[in-house]
Amino acid sequence: MIRRPATRIELKLDDMKEYDEINKDQEDRHKQQTNNSNNKTTDPSSSSSSSAASSSSSGTGITGNGLKPKDLTTHERIGFVRK
């Protein structure tokens, strides 16, 4: 069996910037989701029918094309195009 040398991985400044942007976007989304969930639970004036409809649509965790939101972000990040 032929052994090959280890692959050299270089971390560039552009990669660090991209990582920081993605990390910040994810933190912002997380904060918005927590704020939205806190507002929904503490807002007594919202109608129960609209909250039930929103919970049933978001409860599945699957988008219209059959992928979970986490899968979509992963596909977007790696550049995967579904055919």
Q: State which amino acid sits at residue 83.
A: K
Q: Would you say the pTM of this structure is higher than 0.95?
A: no
Q: How far apart are CA 66 and CA 77, in angstroms?
A: 18
pLDDT digits (tens, 9 = 90+) for 40-49: 765 555 444 4
Q: Is 40 in contact with 46 (CB distance < 8 Å)?
A: yes
Residue 29's pLDDT is what? 92
* Contact by Cβ (8 Å): 4, 59: no
6-26 pLDDT, tens digit each = 899 999 999 999 999 999 999
Percent over 70 (pLDDT), the chain: 66
Band of residue 36 on the pLDDT scale cut at 50, 70, 90: confident
Residue 71 sits at φ, ψ, to 5 deg, of -65, -40
Please state the domain extents for the chain. Answer: 13-41+48-78
